[in-house]
Amino acid sequence: MLDETEIDRRALLRFLAATTDPPRRVWKPVGNWRAPDTAEDVTQWSGVKTELFPRVRTHDEKTGELLTPVRVPRVTYLDASNKQAQGEFPGAAAFALGAGGAGVSKAAAAAALAKMTKKQRREMGEWFGDEPSLGRALVHLKTVYLHDNKLDGDVGGLPNWSVLHSLVTLDLSGNTLRGRLDALRLPPTLKVLNLDQNYFKGPIDPLWFWGIPNVEILRLSGNRLKCAVPKRCWHYLPKLTALYLAQTMLKGGVPKSVADAKELEVLDLSENDELDGEVPTSLLELRRLVDFRLVGCHRMTDTNGVLDRLRERDVEVVAWGAGVPPPKVKTKPPPPPDEEEEGEE
């Protein structure tokens, strides 16, 4: 009988099938996901961790008898990083054809999609699809590491992460994901979000930040935002401690509202050569700031001496190549020369 552990296992196999190029062994290694002695037991898979949760099903589907309450393993942790996984995330065809989606041909997928209504495509076109009476697959995921692969696709085809109400850490860095960043659907439980080195673009709707109020670390470096630094949004992130926006093609000035993220400790705006204007004095309000980076921002100026005042507070300021004055170096007077010994000629 299909149970919650099995729908999690099948969902992982859907991901494996969708991101493996059949002519080549792409995942390195696949690990023991397909080994004869462990293929049926997801609790033993490499890169996967499980925890026990109460079983969702309460009655036998055939007899209607009440089932004994038990706790079953559910997947809470997935690390498939640096596996050379490539392609898009599982979509509607894999769900329609069921049983993990392994070995799905293009013709079979097209035939299955042709029979589905628009509503069915929308509901089933998710990695975390529903199973009748069992709920959603992978719903207990807390940590997902998929960085440094070759995952591709527009943001509209990415999983709806917002249905994972326990997700805390999501790392999709080092892939080729693209599209409007603010179209990425995320849960409010998220604390660590790493999207470095992709092809996401801006502008970013301030309300996108409102949807992730618990984020503490936000990494967006190496994307192609090509927009102004967002304004009127940083108060939505009261727990943010680290913000990485290096090499994101940002334009215009740094808004004073960035200081509304009161807990900010690290701010990296490096290598955005189209940033201009003054270093905002509001940065002095960030009492927890310990690391501020402006490397390569040569159009910015600091006539108010903000950087020196931050350095006086022992903030690590790195602004090499920025159009700001060099840091003031406090020099000590030279030591007095040694007195000549008496009697020396």
Buried b (16+ CB within 10 A) or exposed e, 217-230: bbbbbbbebebbbb
**Model confidence, pTM:** 0.83
Same domain, residue pair 193 and 226: no
Q: Which of 169, 201, 233 is the last residue of a domain?
A: 201
Same domain, residue pair 120 and 74: yes
Tell me how far apart the alpha carbons of residues 171 and 151 are, in angstroms, rounded to a whole number: 12
Q: Are strands 86-87 and 217-219 parallel, antiparallel or unpaired?
A: unpaired
- Establish if 192 belongs to a structural domain: yes
| pLDDT for residue 35 | 80
Same domain, residue pair 137 and 226: no
CA 276, 279, 281, 285 torsion-angle sign: positive
Tell me how far apart the alpha carbons of residues 324 and 322 are, in angstroms, rounded to a whole number: 5
- Establish if 342 belongs to a structural domain: no
- Establish if 255 belongs to a structural domain: yes
Segment 86-105, tens digit of pLDDT = 888 875 344 334 333 334 45
Same domain, residue pair 178 and 238: no
Tell me how far apart the alpha carbons of residues 66 and 96 are, in angstroms, rounded to a whole number: 30
Number of other CB atoms surrounding residue 39 within 10 Å: 14
- Establish if 98 belongs to a structural domain: yes
Same domain, residue pair 176 and 271: no
- Establish if 109 belongs to a structural domain: yes
Q: Which of 142, 167, 201 is the last residue of a domain?
A: 201
- Establish if 156 belongs to a structural domain: yes
Q: Which of 201, 227, 247 is the last residue of a domain?
A: 201
| pLDDT for residue 208 | 97
Segment 222-266, tens digit of pLDDT = 999 999 999 999 999 999 999 999 999 999 999 999 999 999 999
Residue 174 has pLDDT above 80, yes or no: yes
- Establish if 341 belongs to a structural domain: no
Q: Which residue has the higher pLDDT, 35 or 320?
A: 35
Give me the number of domains the chain comprises.
Answer: 2
Highest mean pLDDT among 58-62, 77-81, 155-159: 77-81
| pLDDT for residue 332 | 54
Average pLDDT over residues 4-27: 78
Same domain, residue pair 77 and 31: yes
Tell me how far apart the alpha carbons of residues 277 and 218 are, in angstroms, rounded to a whole number: 24
Same domain, residue pair 255 and 177: no
Domain of residue 315 covers 219-332
Residue 285 has pLDDT above 70, yes or no: yes
Same domain, residue pair 254 and 132: no
Same domain, residue pair 190 and 283: no
Same domain, residue pair 59 and 119: yes
Same domain, residue pair 193 and 223: no
CATH of the domain at 269: 3.80.10.10
- Establish if 344 belongs to a structural domain: no
Same domain, residue pair 158 and 78: yes
